[in-house]
Amino acid sequence: MPYLPTSQAYLEQSAQLLQAYPDTTRIVTKYNFPTNRRGNLKRAYKSQVRKDTAKPTDAPSTTPAPPSAATATLTLKTFNPTTGICLHYRTNKAQEVGRLITSLGKLAAGADVAGLGLSAAVPAAGADVEMTDAPAPAEEVAPVAGKAQGQVQGQGQGQSAKGKKKGGKGKR
Amino acid sequence: MAPHLGQDEFFKSLGELLSKTSQQVQGSVYLTQKPLIDVPGATTTNSQPSILIRATDGNTNTPNLKKEGKDKVAKKSQKVKLSTIVNPDEIEAFYVRYAEVCKAGMTGLKKRDRRGRKAKTKGGAAKVTKA
């Protein structure tokens, strides 16, 4: 199920899920370090190599420090067993912990989307517009593509292209 | 099942569990919160239920059959399981302390103390919003 890109999106969606199913929805916060399994280490090494080749100029100065100290990750999960809806958010930044936990408290106390006070925290009006704009075309396109893959694909693509253009204009 | 702890005891044990995990640079801590409904002992005010908070280290007490033959069996430790109940009127105060304990215990996460990296992330963020 989806990992949401921003903590704000995660908290908003979670608030909606909790509002819809207040009795059965639960939130799990996982704090964990990467394991030392061989597959995991390999994957981490490969992604590191990929990063190094992508940015050759940064590699010598920044890379030696991170691998020595494994960074933990914090994964937030909102799960509703009756509908099977599961929302994720993952971060490795220590500065987010306090804010996330306080927001979880607000969710636990039954706050709605507005009660979280997140929209006020958004710095620029432009970003706000982008947030409300962006999800709409994505939602429209997905069901169309799913229902009739071959026939309506042209339309679906047209819609998505429109959505993207709109989004671009809005941001600039 | 172990009985629910008082909040002071819960925070103390949770702090220990988090710092132990951070020191070992290995393992996980799971924190769960869910509403307590239709359970005796839980008080409900304004149709707002009590919240059950659980913390575990994710160990299972059942033996892992795959690892049975290997040397890991001797290392097997007991599962750590903590839980507490938060009444609806205490939620705010509880989460203030909860956030403090988590911030203090989760030391394995990335800190933003580096100036170079800070500048870089700022630049990156600006790029993202513009693009």
B contacts of A70 (beta carbons < 8 Å) = 25, 108
**0.90 exceeded by pTM:** no
Q: How far is it, in rounded angstroms, from Cα B33 to Cα B69?
A: 37
Q: In a structure prediction context, what are the per-residue pLDDT tens digits for chain A, which is 172 residues long?
A: 689 999 999 999 999 999 999 989 999 999 998 877 777 788 878 888 888 887 655 544 444 444 446 788 999 999 999 999 999 999 999 999 999 999 999 998 887 777 776 654 444 444 444 444 444 444 444 444 444 444 444 444 444 444 444 444 444 4
Contacting residues of A for B102, CB less than 8 Å apart: 31, 97-98, 101
pLDDT-above-90 percentage for chain B: 44
Domains of chain B plus CATH, in order, are 7-39+47-60+78-106 (3.30.720.10)
The 3-state DSSP class for residue A14 equals helix
Distance from CA of B95 to the nearest CA of A (A): 5
A28 in contact with B, Cβ within 8 Å: yes
Beta-bridge partners for A3: A88
State how far the Cα of B52 lies from the Cα of B50, in Å rounded to an integer. Answer: 7
Three-state DSSP class for residue B88: helix
**What is the side-by-side order of every strand in the sheet holding B50-56?**
A85-91, A73-80, A26-32, B28-36, B50-56, B81-86
Cβ pair B17, B29 in contact under 8 A: yes
Please tell me the distance from the alpha carbon of residue B62 to that of residue B74, in angstroms, as a whole number. Answer: 14
CA distances from B56 to A29, A112, B3, B80 (A): 11, 28, 14, 5
Tokens of A83: 């509908």
Domains in chain A (CATH in brackets) are 7-53+69-109 (3.30.720.10)
